[in-house]
Structure 1
Amino acid sequence: MTIDLTRLDSLTQDELWDEQAATTYDTPGEGMSSPEVLDPTVDRLVGLAAGGPALELAVGTGRVAIPLARRGVPVTGIEASRPMLDQLAQTEGSDAVTAVHGDMATTRVDGEFSLVYLVFNTIANLLTQEAQVECFRNAAAHLSPGGRFVIELWVPDLRGVSPTAPAQVFAVEDGYVGLDAIDTATQRLMSHHVRFDPKARGPERREARIGFTPHRYVWPSELDLMARLAGMELESRHADWAGAPFTSQSGSHVSVYRLP
């Protein structure tokens, strides 16, 4: 798919997360799907669910929902991208997850949940503060009294951003380079994903596939205020799913909000 940079904000979730993105999203046993990443995530969510049902906002291909369901937690998922839902339906174990097509900020499903969760920076896919606030309100509306809303999100590092250096490289891996172009006035960020075959030789080595994903970054304190607007309070914040202390040097956080 060819993306016109002038209309990235107006692209639908089906266009941003199309069939190609859905079929290449999972990395079984590696990266975000490695046991080192996934096991602590699922362990923590099982504990936070406290024996009740869970709702995943932006369930995607079921990376977290399926192993969580295997641990005995009933899971419902909301997902805006139909290609991602199609990929979820083809994944072993997906029959244990109830998947609903819809927007994580507005779509309601039946029932109450002891846990609502939103992982892997996905709240930043909502591109306005208003939409992010509505996401918190939607989460709170699905929670039973005493229920928890969990967000995993990166912490923006703006120390290297300036008018003369408006972009940051966030990943350099074999066959992949990622960089973020950042607008500090609007808290908007455009991730550029450059993928290529590092083993290619000759003219084809110069060919690369470039993808773009728009985000609105959110500070932890801003999230806390959104939670209060939705009637929730911060219960805990750690640097990762294993419970490491959150400090000024942390590059991400797992924040748990609780409905009274």
Structure 2
Amino acid sequence: MINQQQLWDNEAAKQYDTPGEGMFSPDVLGPTVEVLSELAGDGAAIEFAIGTGRVAIPLAEAGVQVSGIELSHAMIARLREKVDEDRIPVVQGDMSRVRAEGSFTLAFLVFNTIANLLTQDEQVRCFENAASHLTPGGRFVVELWVPQLRSLPPGHGGTVEVSQPGYLLVDTYDVLRQHVVSHHVRFGPDLSDGRDARIGRTPHRYIWPSELDLMARIAGFELEARWAGWDRSEFTADSRSHVSVYRLIER
């Protein structure tokens, strides 16, 4: 059993923020906040797996009332260094089970985080939990990568996803359980602990877009839009990821 508290510990929280670069660059955050702000409208938003506030803080600065759910104590502590509880309230716990106070027009899960739930049952419960937070007609937005099984050579169980100076990302697949482990290899003279290389591993359960849509239907959602990214570009068979917008059906 994976101990998520150990996985997302103080060291992970400290390394997560890269201000102005990578996931934190204006080119990434600008379109993300624009889409989420539009979907929230005049209502409040809740982020599942809010982390250190990468998206929640600029969304709040854009005028949206934001709350969050987060499992990791370390991530919440890092968030609290930047904003207090009155500005962005956060409930600590499992995003597939924990309930936050209030009602919301928008719930969202970004950067593949739904895949941190390692069983299909947990992922379905996450959709059901999102539905329980939303007003009728509210939206649940999920950003998720598309499994790249077509790139697996015959007889091989892994792919090199990123190769950069000082960093290597290798994904290994268990196709029977729909599990993938991302191996993050950091190397070179910039390592603070003096080692030549450091390896971190994060497990995920990957989800096909069609399976994600079925989970949504079970929880009472319908697919409203799917794009290849936050720029709302067309999703195609060659897209490596997607942003899916589900609308809670009014009953």
Q: Match for 1:224 among 213, 221, 226?
A: 213
Instruction: After TM superposition, give the deviation of residue 160 of structure 1 in Å.
Output: 2.4
Cα deviation 1:199-222 (Å, max 9, x = unaligned)? 68xxx9972111000000000000
User: Which residue in the other structure is 1:251 paired with?
Assistant: 240
User: Which residue in the other structure is 2:35 paired with?
Assistant: 44
Q: Match for 2:73 among 46, 69, 82?
A: 82
Q: Counterpart of 1:97 in 2: which secondary structure?
A: coil
1-side partners of 2:85 and 2:23: how far apart? 18
Q: Give the aligned residue type for 1:259.
A: L
Change over 3 Å in CA distance of 1:66–1:205 after alignment to 2? closer
Sequence identity percentage: 58
User: Which residue in the other structure is 2:146 paired with?
Assistant: 155
Q: Give the aligned residue type for 1:182.
A: Y
Change over 3 Å in CA distance of 1:106–1:175 after alignment to 2? same
Instruction: After TM superposition, give the deviation of residue 164 of structure 1 in Å.
Output: 2.2
Pairing 1:142–2:133 present:
yes
2-side partners of 1:92 and 1:151: how far apart? 24
Q: Give the aligned residue type for 1:76.
A: S
2-side partners of 1:47 and 1:165: how far apart? 43
Q: Is the 8 A contact 1:192 1:213 kept in 2?
A: yes
Instruction: After TM superposition, give the deviation of residue 175 of structure 1 in Å.
Output: 1.1
User: Which residue in the other structure is 2:164 paired with?
Assistant: 173
Change over 3 Å in CA distance of 1:98–1:159 after alignment to 2? same
Instruction: After TM superposition, give the deviation of residue 174 of structure 1 in Å.
Output: 2.0
Q: Which runs of 5+ in 2 are unaligned?
A: none
Give TM-score scaled by structure 1 length: 0.92
User: Which residue in the other structure is 1:22 paired with?
Assistant: 13
Q: Is the 8 A contact 2:189 2:196 kept in 1?
A: no
Q: Is the 8 A contact 1:232 1:257 kept in 2?
A: yes
2-side partners of 1:124 and 1:54: how far apart? 21
1-side partners of 2:134 and 2:23: how far apart? 27
2-side partners of 1:158 and 1:116: how far apart? 29
Q: Is the 8 A contact 1:88 1:94 kept in 2?
A: no
Q: Counterpart of 2:151 in 1: which secondary structure?
A: coil
2-side partners of 1:150 and 1:30: how far apart? 23
Q: Match for 1:105 among 96, 112, 117?
A: 96
Instruction: After TM superposition, give the deviation of residue 162 of structure 1 in Å.
Output: 4.7
Cα deviation 1:73-125 (Å, max 9, x = unaligned)? 11000000000111111125775211110111000111110000000000000
Q: Which runs of 5+ in 1 are unaligned?
A: 1-9
Q: Give the aligned residue type for 2:169.
A: G
Q: Is the 8 A contact 1:89 1:95 kept in 2?
A: no
User: Which residue in the other structure is 2:48 paired with?
Assistant: 57
Q: Give the aligned residue type for 1:123.
A: I
2-side partners of 1:106 and 1:205: how far apart? 41
Q: Counterpart of 1:108 in 2: which secondary structure?
A: coil
Q: CA RMSD in A?
A: 1.6
1-side partners of 2:28 and 2:151: how far apart? 27
2-side partners of 1:256 and 1:29: how far apart? 27
Q: Is the 8 A contact 1:42 1:64 kept in 2?
A: yes
Cα deviation 1:37-58 (Å, max 9, x = unaligned)? 0100000000000110000000
Q: Counterpart of 1:159 in 2: which secondary structure?
A: helix
Q: Match for 2:224 among 228, 235, 241?
A: 235
Change over 3 Å in CA distance of 1:101–1:74 after alignment to 2? same
Q: Counterpart of 2:101 in 1: which secondary structure?
A: coil
Q: Give the aligned residue type for 2:168.
A: V
Give TM-score scaled by structure 2 length: 0.95
